[in-house]
Structure 1
C-alpha cells in the first residue's frame, strides 16, 4: 500500500511539474496591435506583445487561468484558457474602446452613425462620466463638457440656463430622445427632474444645426437619450445626501408585459435648509421640493421595426428669499420671497411605418404651467407645445444617404404679461404659433477619406414669412489618427422675451420694450480637428474646435442705461461670438485617466451710440477663459478616486451706477473629490466633498435689507436699488456628500 502512495505522489509531482507554452497574435481593426499588455494575474506574469502583435509566455504550469489583454484605445479582454499540452495558441481580436470614438451618435445627422464617422462633431456625456461628480439634476451634469456653462441667473430663486460657446440659453435647443421637448417657457427648468438613472447618454453638438432641428438650434443642441428598456437594468437606484441637507433619490426598474418592455423611474429631490452663510438675510440656496416620474415603453414588432412611447411628469415647489419668509407672504410686499410652482407633462413617441423603406414618425406633446411670484410681481403662464415629424432615411447607392422630412410644431402660450395682451392692451390674447417645416439632407461619402453633408430647411412663420436655413459639413480623415471637420450654417429665431429671460421677471427692474422686436439672424461656422496619439505607455486624444457666429440682429437686455430698468430693443449694429476650445484625454497603462479642457471665447456686440459710432459692449456672463478637468485613478480591490472641477476667468456682470462691486468677476475654480468602492453584486458606495476650496461670490445682492425699494431715499447717496442679478457662481460653499448606487441586470 505504501508503494502505491509513493507511486501516486510521484505521478502527481510529474503532472504538477509539467509546463506548457501560450502564444498567439493580438489584432484589432484589421491589423496587428503592437505592445499589447498580456498578463496572467494568478502567476504574476506581465509581458508585452512585439511590434507585430505576437506574444509568447513560456513555462506555464498545467492548469486553467484568466489571461488579460489590454491596450490603450481598445477594450480590455479577458479570456479563460486551459494549459494541458506543450503548446497552446490563443489569437485575440480587440475592439476599439470609447476613447477611440466608437460610440453611436444620432444628434449631428438625425441618423445612427459611429461617432468617428459623423461629419458633425458630437461630444458625449455618459452616466459613467457624470457619476464622477454626483449632481441633483442634468442641468449641473452638462457642465462637465468643456465650453458648456450652466449659468445661474438669479441669486434668489436660482433659475438658470445653459450657455454653449458663450451664447445664452435660448440659443441652445434641448431635446429628449431627439425631440424638441424643452423650449421657451420650460428652458429654465427643462433639465431639472430628468431621472439620472434613466439616462443612457447626453449628446452635445456645438454650432449650427438649424437645417435639421429648426431655428432654436442656433448655438447648439443638448440631446438627452433615455435608456432602451430592453437594455436597462432590472432595478437601478442612486441616492445621496449632502451636509447641507440636500437629498436626491433616483429609482428605476423595468418589466415585461407581453411583447412590450417598460422602463419606469422616479426622481425625488428635497432641500429644506435655510442657510445664510454670507449674512445678508437671504437664503444662499433656493429651497426645493421636486418629484419627477418617467415611463417608457418599447414594443416588439415584425422585422425589428421600432415603436416606443414615453411620458414624464414633473412637479416642483421652489422658493428663495428672506430667511423669515413663509408662504403666507407669497405675493406680499412685507417680506421678500420668490416662489415658483411648476407642473409639467411630456409625452414622446417614435413609430416606424410598416413599409419596406425606413420611414419614421416622431411625435411629442408637452404642457408647462408656472405659478410664480417674484416679490409682489406675479408671473402666471401656461404653454402647450405639440410636435409631429416624419422623415425618410433612404440610402442611394453605396455613397449617398438621403434624409427627407417634414415637421409641424404648434405652440399655444398664455401669461399675465404684455406678451399676450391685445394690441390695445385691454384684453388677453394667447399666442398661437404654428410652425410647419420641410428639411432635406444628403450625406455623401466621396471616398474612404472624404465625406460631405449638405442640408436645407424651410420653415414658415406666420408673422415673418419663410425662413431658409442651409447647412454644409465636411469631414476629412487621412488616417485613423487624424480627422478634420468643418461646418457652416445659418440661424433664425423669434424672441419670446418673458419666457426666455428670467431677469425680465424678477420685479427688481422695470421692463421696457423700446420697439417691436425683429427676429434674430445669424451665420455660424465651426472648424474641428481630432488627433489621436497612441504610444506604448499612454494614449492621447486632442480635440480642438474654432467657432464663429455673426448676428445681424440680437436681442440682449440693456442693464446699463438705467439701474431701475431692463431695456430691450433691436440691435443697431451686429454681434459676434467667436473663440476656440481644446479637449485633451490621456489614458495611461497604469490605472489613471485624465480629461481636461480649455476654452477661449470673445462674445460681444457692436451697437451705435448717441454719436452714431459703433461701440463695443462685452456680453454679460461670458468669461473669455474657462475650462474643466476630470481625473480618475483606480485603486486595488475596486476602489477609485475622482477629482473633477470647472474654472472660469473674469466675466462681465450687471452692476449699478457707482457700484462698489467690481464689474468683472475674479478667477475662480470649483473643485470636487469623490471616493468609490464597488462590490461584485452591483452595489457602489461613494463619498466625497464638493467645492473643497469653499469658493463663494461676495455681495451677490445689493441692498438686501430693502428688497421692495421702500427706503431708497434714506441714507443712500449712490441711489442704489435692490438687485439680485450680480451672479457668477453658486452661493453653496464646501459640503460633504455620501451616497449609494445599485444596479441589478
Structure 2
C-alpha cells in the first residue's frame, strides 16, 4: 500500500513540474543602454521582478498559457506585451523604453554650451520630450508651450493672432529661441516665425529661465528655449502625424530618414497647416481666429567621419499666408480702406551647421544664417520688412584637473530694413564677442561655475556680462543651485512690438533708446523621492529676482492713441517663485503639476506700476492614466492664469482693466493597441472659455476700423460723440488669451523604426 502511495505522489509531482516548466526572460534597454532596476510585472498576478545591472530579467516556473507583461521605469514610458507560453519553452522578450518625463538625468547642453548630465549641470535646465507635448497635440511649438510652468504663449493681436513667448512674466523679446543651439528665431521671427517647426523632428526642448546673456548674448534676458532636433541616425525611418479639428483646422507632420551610402544620414521633416474657415462666434464681424496656410520643410544631414567627430548641416524653408479681419474681407481688399483686414506673407530661409575641427583638442565651429522677408498690411498701413542674421561661433572645450573650461568667440551680423519712418536707412550692425567659463569641481558635492562675456556692438559700444553659479549636491536626489548674472538687450521696436505696426496707435520715441541692462539671481532646489514599490515623486522649486537698471517698456497709459517709448527713469523688477511636481505611480497614473507666483513692476518717480499683460499667478497640469486592458491612455491637461492688467483706451473704456482668472483645459484619449499606430481624439478648451466673456466687446470700434467716424480734439484725442460714446478709436490690442472656443479633434500617428 505504501508503494502505491509513493508512486502516486511521484506522478503528481512530475505532472505538476511539467505544468510549471515554462519561463520568460529578456533584456530592458533605453537609448541603447541597459536599464538597471526596471520593474517587470505579470499583470493580474503577484509575480514581479527587477532587472539586474545588465538590464536582464527572468520569470521561471510558469504554467503554459497567456500572459500580459508590463515594464515600467521612472521617467520612461510604461509598455505592455502579450505573451503565449507553451511547455518546456524559455520565451525571449526584450523591451525598449522611451523617455516620458522631464525629471530625467538625461544629457542637456543649453545651460553650459556643453553636453552634461542634467544633475551635474550647475545651471538648472528643464527638459521636455515629445511624449510631453503629445498629451495635448498642437500644430506648432508656440501653442505646445502653453502647458509648461512659467512659460506663457502670449497673443499680441485679436486680428492676426501673432504672438511671442513670455518666461517668468517677461515679454517675448526677452526670450531667445534657439534651434540646435543656434539663434535662428529672433527679431521678426519671434513674432511671426515660431510656427512651422515640424514636430516630427523634435528630440526635446530645453528651457533655461533667467538671463543667459553671458553665453548667448543679446535677447537672452528673460531666458531661452532651445529646440533640439533629432539626430538622423536615431530617428525613425518614417513617421506621420496628422489631425483635424471640428473648426476645420488640418495639420500634417511627415518625417523620414535615409542613408546616403556610407557617407551620411539625412533626415527630412515637413509640416503643413491649413485653416480657411472664417468663424465669428462673438458677433463683432471680425474673424475669431486668423486664417492660415503654412508649409515648412526641414532637412538635416549628419556626415560620417573616420574620426567620429561631428559634422552636421541643416536647413529650413518656411512660408506662411495668414489673414484676419472683417468677415467679408478677401485679398482684393488688401491694403485698402474699404474692408479691414490684416494680411501677412512671411517667407524664411534658415541654414545652420556644426563642424568639430579635425584636431586633438575638442573645438566646435557652429554657424547659422537666416533671411526673413515679410510683406504685411494692417488695414491700409503697409509694413514691408527684411531681416538677415548671420552667426558664427567657435568654442574650445578643455579639461584641466578639476577645471572644466570653455573658451569661445562669436560674431553676429544683423541687417534690418523696413518701410517705416523709424528706419530711414537700413540698420546694419556687427557684434563680435568673446566668452569664457570655468566650472570648478571641488568634490562630489560642491562645484562653482564662473563665466564672462564681452560684446562690442557697432551701435552701442562695449557690453560686459559676468556670470556665477554654485551647485551643492547633498545627495544624488537633493541638489541646490544658485545662479547670478547680468543681462542686456538691444531694442528694435518694429521687430517685436506688434501694436506699433497695426496703425491703431502712433509710435512716439522720446529719445535715443539705450540697451536694456539687468541683474539677476536665481535659487533652485531639486528633490527626487523613490518609494519601495516603484513610485516616484520629483519636486523642483525656483525663486528669482531680476532688477533692470534700464528697460524699454511701452507706455499705453499716457495717451490712448499713442505708444510712447523712452529709457526707464527709475528701475523695473520681476520676482517670483515657481514649483514643478512630477509624480509617477506603478498603477499607471502620472501627474505633472506646476505653479508660479510673481510680481512684475516698474518704478518711476517713486510710483510703482504693475506691468501690462503679466499675471500674478499661474498653474499648469498634465494628468495621465493608462488603461492597459483597453489599450487606452487618458491625458487631461490645462492651465490657469491670474488677472493681468490690460491696455485700455482711456477712462471711459467700458472693458475691464484686469482680465479675470481663466483656465484652458483639454482632454485626450489615445488608443495604442496596433503596432506602430496610435489613434487619438479629444476635446480642446473644455470650458469653452474666450476673452469676450464678461466684456461688452474685445476689439474697440470694430464697426469703424478705419476711424472714419471718429472726431478728434486739437490734442489728437478721440472725442465723445453720439456715435462714439466712450471716445475710443479702433484697437485690436486688448488681448490676453486665445479667442478660440471649444472644439474636438481627431488624429492618427504612424511610426516605423
Question: So what's the TM-score if we normalise by structure 1?
Answer: 0.90
* Alignment partner, residue 636 of structure 2: 643
> C-alpha displacement at 1:679, in angstroms?
3.6
1:672 matches 2:666: yes
Specify which of 573, 577, 580 is matched with residue 580 of structure 1: 577
Structure 2 matches for 1:311-322, cutoff 5 A? 311-322=315-326
* Alignment partner, residue 424 of structure 1: none
Structure 2 matches for 1:710-725, cutoff 5 A? 710-713=708-711, 714-715=721-722, 716-725=724-733
> C-alpha displacement at 1:322, in angstroms?
0.5
> C-alpha displacement at 1:573, in angstroms?
0.5
Give the distance between the partners of 1:731 and 1:96, measured in 2 at CA.
34
Question: Is 2:291–2:322's contact at 8 Å kept on the other side of the alignment?
Answer: yes
Structure 2 matches for 1:80-479, cutoff 5 A? 101-258=104-261, 259-397=263-401, 399-421=402-424, 429-479=425-475
Question: Is 1:208–1:525's contact at 8 Å kept on the other side of the alignment?
Answer: no
Q: Which moved more, 1:713-722 or 1:651-660?
A: 713-722
1:590 matches 2:594: no
Q: 1:257 to 1:517 in 2, by over 3 A?
A: same
Q: Which moved more, 1:361-370 or 1:258-267?
A: 258-267
Give the distance between the partners of 1:568 and 1:469, measured in 2 at CA.
25
Q: Which moved more, 1:210-219 or 1:55-64?
A: 55-64
Q: 1:279 to 1:98 in 2, by over 3 A?
A: closer
Question: Is 1:582–1:599's contact at 8 Å kept on the other side of the alignment?
Answer: yes
> C-alpha displacement at 1:82, in angstroms?
10
Q: 1:493 to 1:93 in 2, by over 3 A?
A: closer
Name the SS for the 1:723 alignment partner: coil
1:737 matches 2:745: yes
* Alignment partner, residue 45 of structure 1: 46
Q: 1:342 to 1:75 in 2, by over 3 A?
A: closer
Specify which of 707, 710, 720 is matched with residue 709 of structure 1: 707
Q: 1:349 to 1:687 in 2, by over 3 A?
A: same
Q: 1:76 to 1:627 in 2, by over 3 A?
A: closer
Give the distance between the partners of 2:98 and 2:350, measured in 1 at CA.
38
Q: 1:49 to 1:247 in 2, by over 3 A?
A: closer
Q: 1:337 to 1:58 in 2, by over 3 A?
A: closer
> C-alpha displacement at 1:252, in angstroms?
1.0
Question: Is 2:22–2:85's contact at 8 Å kept on the other side of the alignment?
Answer: no
Name the SS for the 1:116 alignment partner: helix
Name the SS for the 1:142 alignment partner: helix
> C-alpha displacement at 1:464, in angstroms?
1.8
Name the SS for the 1:700 alignment partner: coil
Name the SS for the 1:387 alignment partner: strand
* Alignment partner, residue 621 of structure 1: 613
Give the distance between the partners of 2:76 and 2:385, measured in 1 at CA.
51
1:554-613 superposed Cα distances (whole Å, 9 cap, x missing partner)? 1111111111111111111100011000111111120010111010010010012xxxxx
> C-alpha displacement at 1:638, in angstroms?
2.2
Name the SS for the 1:217 alignment partner: coil
1:496 matches 2:486: no
Q: 1:287 to 1:101 in 2, by over 3 A?
A: same
Question: Is 2:579–2:594's contact at 8 Å kept on the other side of the alignment?
Answer: yes
Question: Is 1:195–1:266's contact at 8 Å kept on the other side of the alignment?
Answer: yes
> C-alpha displacement at 1:31, in angstroms?
14
> C-alpha displacement at 1:443, in angstroms?
1.4
Name the SS for the 2:215 alignment partner: helix
> C-alpha displacement at 1:182, in angstroms?
1.1
Q: 1:339 to 1:83 in 2, by over 3 A?
A: closer
Specify which of 645, 652, 663 is matched with residue 652 of structure 1: 645
1:619-652 superposed Cα distances (whole Å, 9 cap, x missing partner)? 1110001110001111124211100001101001
Runs of 4+ aligned structure 1 residues displaced above 6 Å come to 9-12, 20-24, 28-33, 55-58, 62-67, 74-85, 92-97
Name the SS for the 2:255 alignment partner: strand
Give the distance between the partners of 1:357 and 1:58, measured in 2 at CA.
52
Structure 2 matches for 1:524-603, cutoff 5 A? 524-537=520-533, 538-603=535-600
Name the SS for the 1:212 alignment partner: helix
Give the distance between the partners of 1:167 and 1:100, measured in 2 at CA.
25
> Please, which runs of 5 or more residues in structure 2 have no aligned partner?
1-10, 52-56, 712-720
1:281-336 superposed Cα distances (whole Å, 9 cap, x missing partner)? 00000111111111110000012110010110111111111111111111111111
Question: Is 2:397–2:406's contact at 8 Å kept on the other side of the alignment?
Answer: yes
Q: 1:646 to 1:22 in 2, by over 3 A?
A: closer
* Alignment partner, residue 611 of structure 1: none
Give the distance between the partners of 1:20 and 1:284, measured in 2 at CA.
63
> C-alpha displacement at 1:10, in angstroms?
9.6
Give the distance between the partners of 1:31 and 1:309, measured in 2 at CA.
32
> C-alpha displacement at 1:548, in angstroms?
0.9
Question: Is 1:96–1:102's contact at 8 Å kept on the other side of the alignment?
Answer: no
Give the distance between the partners of 1:564 and 1:95, measured in 2 at CA.
54
> C-alpha displacement at 1:37, in angstroms?
5.2
Question: Is 1:471–1:489's contact at 8 Å kept on the other side of the alignment?
Answer: yes
Give the distance between the partners of 2:236 and 2:373, measured in 1 at CA.
33
Give the distance between the partners of 1:289 and 1:726, measured in 2 at CA.
25
Question: Is 2:487–2:518's contact at 8 Å kept on the other side of the alignment?
Answer: yes
Question: Is 1:64–1:83's contact at 8 Å kept on the other side of the alignment?
Answer: no
Question: Is 2:19–2:87's contact at 8 Å kept on the other side of the alignment?
Answer: no
> C-alpha displacement at 1:77, in angstroms?
9.4
Give the distance between the partners of 2:140 and 2:77, measured in 1 at CA.
30
Q: 1:103 to 1:32 in 2, by over 3 A?
A: closer
The two structures, once aligned, show a CA RMSD in angstroms of 3.3
Q: 1:65 to 1:322 in 2, by over 3 A?
A: closer
Give the aligned length: 717
> C-alpha displacement at 1:18, in angstroms?
5.4
Q: 1:325 to 1:589 in 2, by over 3 A?
A: same
